[in-house]
Structure 1
Amino acid sequence: MGCRVIARAIDELSSWAQGRLIPPAPPAAPVTRVVTDSRRAGPGSLFVAIKGERADGHDYLAAVARAGAAAALVSDETAARAALAEAGRADGPGAAMALIVVEDTVAALGRIARGHLADLRQRAGDRGLAVVAMTGSVGKTTTKDLTRQLLAAQGPTIAPVASFNNEIGLPLTVLEADESTRYLVLEMGASGPDDIADLVGIAPLDAAAVLMIGHAHMGGFGSIEGVATAKSHIVRGLLPHGTAILNLDDERAAAMGALAPAGVLTFSASGDERADLRATAVELDEAAHAVAEIHLPGAAPRRVRLGLPGAHNVANALAALGLALAAGAGADDLLDAIACAGLESPHRMAVSDLPGGGRLIDDSYNANIDSMTASLASLPALAGDRRRVVVISEMLELGESSAADHATVGALAADAGASLLVAIGAGAAPAAEAARQRGVEVVETPDADGAIARIPSLLAPGDAVLVKGSHGSGAWRVADHLAAGGPTAVGHEATDGRDGKDAR
């Protein structure tokens, strides 16, 4: 990963990082890029050496130095000095690569991003720089994509690609902002109780949306109340003038209004008349896109067809509209823009055609019981009269509710009219059993490779295939294989044996 940044002096970055600079008088050339992937290092770059579960960035410092990087953010000074010596960049006029030595490089990256953002806000002055973010157990990335599109119509906007929503991705997104940026859109995810508190410490917010409190990453929180407490930090982290945008249809999200320092906007996809933003008369058209009467403060209600499938995306659209309103956009302009906004990030309810009249519904980026429920609820409308095939991979990090949640998914697949369920991973076994008990044909495979190998013999021309699962359990690989056009959707007609191709 990496990002381009406005030119920053190395000693300024070191000060923000609260690090020790080696040599004390750094090279005059500024940093214009921050990278965490050594393969993207080059002249003008600051390489952040991160010690991860599978690799240690310090092992690549010699290659980074040889690539001409301006500086490296490190926590292992001994390894860093040895790498510079190996690369011939330990000393010499204009030859040395600067080192910023800190205790924790990820935390220091966050401090650099915080300093960068504070400086940009000061430079923006009266023009303003609105920083908005969203969190929730489902819908974050779709809401982020919609918010980006709404605000980009108003002025220069920065938002993350895919789901850069953690302690590494969020700072890199912040660092992409420059003097021209008017809107900064951030996504905040959490795997533990303090994650969002840490993220809002990096980027204090002008507006924050809470989508819903569900069962994502339950293993890291212990209970649904623990999830709610963790998510509430996005509201607690608002600036004194900040606005909270809260889902009135979710009692735990709605209750966070008491934590907001200033304004609150509520939204309701169920049409609750108490909400500031609401949708009424929601219907799905022939393409399973939601059509609804959208009510916004400051505008007459308008019938709008959303540019993305699924009734569950009405709530995401309302949240995006609320964030854009809080950032200063006009209601009528937003109603024009939301009808044109669509999917941007991959593997999120992406609908495409398969050979032989089939249809692929790729919602495979990640999964929990709430997002599984929403996807399966959309299947009948998206499949039409096609045979319905559901491919799921194990939902991870569910804690004690894992077996029950997977069994629920199997029952929901049957209720959605699935003729065939392909269950990937040992943890998905309860889903397989629940579906089998309801008369659904079931195939179980140990991993995504097994599913890909079986796909040619399982699918027929004209099938509708929904693919859904946690990113770490590999459903997305099956979706990519199908989308690549290997011997898949027309499996019974395949003759040449060619295969398709294979971030949180």
Structure 2
Amino acid sequence: MIALTMAEIAEATSGRFEASGTEATPESVVTGAVTTDSREVEPGGVFVAKRGEADDGHRFAPGAAERGAALLIVERPLEVPVPQIVVSDSVEALGALATEVVRRVRALGRLRIVGVTGSNGKTTTKNLLRTVLEQVGPTVAARKSYNNEVGAPTTMLELTEDTEFLVAEMGASGIGHIAHLVRMARPDVGIVLKVGLAHAGEFGGIEKTVQAKSEMVTDLLPTDVAVLNADDPRVASMAQLTRARVVWFGLAEEADVRATDVVVHARGTSFTVTVPGGESARVDFSVLGEHHVMNALAAVAAALQLDVPLDTIVAGLEQVTLAEEGRMQVLGGRDDITVINDAYNASPDSMAAALKTLAQVKRPGARSIAVLGEMSELGEFSGEEHDRIGLLAVRLGISQLVVVGEGARRLHISTINEGSWDGESAYVDTADEAFELVTSMARPGDTVLVKSSNAAGLRHLGDRLGEWFA
């Protein structure tokens, strides 16, 4: 974090400074990292004690003090010998502090900000942009999927006076959440990747999801840029809601940044990218899955708006070999058995894309095995979407399906009801049972996909299978 006095932090958070028995004064300066996890506190850092549904961060303040915290942001004074800023709401204070830090760094005239949202692909696009922009200047981007009201401002607080680019991933589980984050960061470039059924149960339907995602572009200024998916009609409709200049990406001919000659193989995806002005380049993209081409196009479109040359962008994309741990991660190798661990999260769109990739990359004459768990947070759409994925697995000719957990049982039932399968789908209750089944059935040359929502817990199964077949 940039250097701030405790008085400045108190003013930014509308809090009250308390020395708490130390020699600190309001003019004492803090420069350390800000975190809500006491285990991550570093000497000189700031610990924000937030209340959660299951626990209260104030309980961990003594641990933060032991780790060398220079300041605590709390909702009540604590008997801990560390200076404290007492605020009414710790999460709101975190956001307010992030807003002030972004404002101050922006005032230096170097910082440019990209906001990324969408039902799928946020983390991958953020990681691609980070790799591209790091070639040009100091860049800050979220770790993992830090994209909510806690993770996003925590990332913003990593800014320093030297930072040139901030890539802010912005997620939501309801109306107003993205707008709240946009007001903190004020992106120069706002990306909307896709609107699908991910979290539709939380939003209350697909139209509410569209409304929430459109918050990325509704407050952009005429001098800003909205990077929109030309292939998604719901995203395309957002062009009418923004004052910003629109740049389109996609496979459609009318897209400003588009991909052609897409070739999918077991080592990744190759495609030709064409940009405004007619310049084009071939990209040998090591991230597995045709669906990630759209994320790459979004990154290209955004980077171009930040004046990054196309050859630099392509070089950055080609450096990336993994979207994120647990996302289309290729493991295994023994007896030519490949394990694709894609169980970091799942929506109907990403589940369908993963199955299509499995069908595309399996070796000729060998089998494709899909180990699938529940797609969570779909609400009223859950049943029909699990049915749809089951039918897609049959139609893609997946050799063997292993369905794990009660939440995904309907997927198994829909496949056996299709009538064209005879024992190709198996149901088990636990990841341990799935492990035993897959390790006993796998043959040399097989390709195994593991896919589920994070809540289903199959990511560790994917890692375990990868180690077994290493």
Q: Residues 336, 67 of structure 1: CA spacing in aligned structure 2 closer, same or farther, 3 A cutoff?
A: closer
Q: Residues 10, 458 of structure 1: CA spacing in aligned structure 2 closer, same or farther, 3 A cutoff?
A: farther
- In the alignment, structure 1 residue 352 sits paired with structure 2 residue 319: no
- In the alignment, structure 1 residue 304 sits paired with structure 2 residue 304: no
Deviation at 1:136, TM superposition (A): 0.8
- In the alignment, structure 1 residue 168 sits paired with structure 2 residue 153: no
Q: Any unmatched runs of 5+ in structure 1? A: 90-96, 491-504
Decide whether the 8 Å contact of 1:389 with 1:418 is kept in 2.
yes
AA in 1 matched with 2:85 = I
- In the alignment, structure 1 residue 206 sits paired with structure 2 residue 206: no
Deviation at 1:111, TM superposition (A): 0.8
User: In structure 2, the residue corresponding to 1:196 is in which secondary structure?
Assistant: helix
AA in 2 matched with 1:219 = G
Please name the residue that 1:41 is paired with: 41
Deviation at 1:370, TM superposition (A): 0.5
Decide whether the 8 Å contact of 1:218 with 1:227 is kept in 2.
yes
- In the alignment, structure 1 residue 472 sits paired with structure 2 residue 468: no
AA in 2 matched with 1:472 = A
Please name the residue that 2:440 is paired with: 457
Equivalents in 1 of 2:447, 2:105: separation in Å? Answer: 48
Give the counterpart of 1:280 among 254, 260, 275: 260
Decide whether the 8 Å contact of 2:359 with 2:398 is kept in 1.
no
Deviation at 1:299, TM superposition (A): 4.7
Please name the residue that 1:62 is paired with: 62
Equivalents in 1 of 2:330, 2:68: separation in Å? Answer: 43
Q: Residues 65, 302 of structure 1: CA spacing in aligned structure 2 closer, same or farther, 3 A cutoff?
A: closer
Please name the residue that 2:268 is paired with: 289
Please name the residue that 1:392 is paired with: 372
User: In structure 2, the residue corresponding to 1:418 is in which secondary structure?
Assistant: coil
- Per-residue CA deviation, residues 315-358 of structure 1 (Å, 9 max, x unaligned), is 11110001101122123432444344442421111223332210
Give the counterpart of 2:8 among 8, 12, 30: 12
- Per-residue CA deviation, residues 73-128 of structure 1 (Å, 9 max, x unaligned), is 112x1xx42x42xxxx2xxxxxxx111112221111111111001000112x2xx2
- In the alignment, structure 1 residue 417 sits paired with structure 2 residue 387: no
Equivalents in 2 of 1:333, 1:65: separation in Å? Answer: 44
User: In structure 1, the residue corresponding to 2:107 is in which secondary structure?
Assistant: helix
Deviation at 1:450, TM superposition (A): 4.0
Alignment of 1:132-143 (within 5 A): 132-143=114-125
User: In structure 1, the residue corresponding to 2:188 is in which secondary structure?
Assistant: strand
- In the alignment, structure 1 residue 147 sits paired with structure 2 residue 129: yes
Decide whether the 8 Å contact of 1:380 with 1:416 is kept in 2.
yes
AA in 2 matched with 1:193 = I
Give the counterpart of 1:261 among 243, 257, 262: 243
Decide whether the 8 Å contact of 2:120 with 2:350 is kept in 1.
yes
Decide whether the 8 Å contact of 1:379 with 1:416 is kept in 2.
no
Query: Does 108-117 or 430-439 show the bigger shift?
Result: 430-439
User: In structure 1, the residue corresponding to 2:307 is in which secondary structure?
Assistant: coil
- Give the alignment's TM-score, normalised by structure 1: 0.87
Deviation at 1:16, TM superposition (A): 1.2
Deviation at 1:205, TM superposition (A): 0.4
Please name the residue that 1:500 is paired with: none
AA in 2 matched with 1:444 = Y
Decide whether the 8 Å contact of 1:447 with 1:474 is kept in 2.
no
Alignment of 1:95-494 (within 5 A): 97-123=82-108, 125=109, 128-269=110-251, 272-284=252-264, 286-287=265-266, 289-385=268-364, 386-437=366-417, 438-439=420-421, 440-485=423-468, 489=469
Equivalents in 2 of 1:416, 1:443: separation in Å? Answer: 17
Decide whether the 8 Å contact of 1:421 with 1:443 is kept in 2.
yes
Flag as ranges the 4+ runs of structure 1 deviating above 4 A.
Answer: none
- Give the alignment's TM-score, normalised by structure 2: 0.93
The percentage of aligned residue pairs carrying the same residue is 40
Decide whether the 8 Å contact of 1:393 with 1:468 is kept in 2.
yes
Equivalents in 1 of 2:249, 2:239: separation in Å? Answer: 12
AA in 2 matched with 1:280 = T
Q: Residues 343, 298 of structure 1: CA spacing in aligned structure 2 closer, same or farther, 3 A cutoff?
A: farther
The aligned length equals 462
- Per-residue CA deviation, residues 168-197 of structure 1 (Å, 9 max, x unaligned), is 111111111211111111111111122111
Equivalents in 1 of 2:285, 2:275: separation in Å? Answer: 15
Decide whether the 8 Å contact of 1:423 with 1:432 is kept in 2.
yes
AA in 2 matched with 1:6 = I
Q: Residues 444, 26 of structure 1: CA spacing in aligned structure 2 closer, same or farther, 3 A cutoff?
A: farther
Deviation at 1:206, TM superposition (A): 0.2
Query: Does 397-406 or 437-446 show the bigger shift?
Result: 437-446
